[in-house]
A and B are shown apart, each in its own frame.
Chain A
Amino acid sequence: GQNIDQPTEMTATEGAIVQINCTYQTSGFNGLFWYQQHAGEAPTFLSYNVLDGLEEKGRFSSFLSRSKGYSYLLLKELQMKDSASYLCAVRDSNYQLIWGAGTKLIIKP
């Protein structure tokens, strides 16, 4: 079966750095995506990785290791507005998105 694992909840302090991990087992691989979702809203696109390595975009970076079936989202200089759920999704060989359950990130002052 196909499976995406990420922690259910994480807590971090404003101004700090947090890393959200995602491991996956899917039928094929055509890219890994990270989305941010605030409560009651639709997800918004954060990053896309298809090759191994680190993609940096402002305060957010995403890393991928295809051989390990592993990715992480790194958030720097945390702000209160970063409190949200972060969804990891993998596009499989059929170009379907397989979703993780999301990681709820709580930012404390």
Chain B
Amino acid sequence: GAVVSQHPSRVICKSGTSVKIECRSLDFQATTMFWYRQFPKKSLMLMATSNEGSKATYEQGVEKDKFLINHASLTLSTLTVTSAHPEDSSFYICSAWRMNTEAFFGQGTRLTVV
């Protein structure tokens, strides 16, 4: 079964609104989770590293005020896309390492901003 659960799987929102995406590790504790963005026919682009109990580490070019990450517990990280615009429409995926040898991914969230 899935060891990392991501919710929602699909969301459509209006421009200017905010969307929250949740990522949960179901049967292990994840002090670090990763958030990726994937464009059609492109590879995964790391957006940020989410650290439990501390601020997230953002990759160069990723706006931290637009993509708010909160990692409040060892099993939950959230990504909030604030003031969403159509160009934010994408496939967002979270992942967490288990035993340092396997990175499990959430199911992904297809965000469409209209």
Contacts and interface: CB of A to CB of B under 8 A. Distances in A.
Interface stretch (B12-20, B67-75, B80-88, B102-110): B102-110
Given A99-B44, A101-B42, 9 more contacts: A42-B6, A45-B102, A48-B101, A87-B43, A97-B46, A99-B43, A100-B43, A101-B43, A102-B43
B50 to A, nearest CB: 14
Contact of B103 (A41, A45, A101): A45
Nearest to B91: A40
A48 B110 contact: no
Contacts of B42: 101
- B interface, size bucket: 10 to 19
Contacts of B107: 41-42
Given A96-B46, A101-B42, A42 B102 contact: no
Interface residues of A, number: 16
A42 B105 contact: yes
B33 to A, nearest CB: 13
A95 B104 CA distance: 15
B108 A41 contact: yes
A44 interface: yes
A7 interface: no
Main secondary structure of the interface of A (DSSP, over half): loop
B99 to A, nearest CB: 10
A42 B34 CA distance: 13
Contacts of A102: 43
B44 A87 contact: yes
A83 to B, nearest CB: 15
A94 B62 CA distance: 19
Interface in A16-46: 31, 33, 40-45
A26 B104 CA distance: 22
Contacts of B46: 96-97
A26 to B, nearest CB: 14
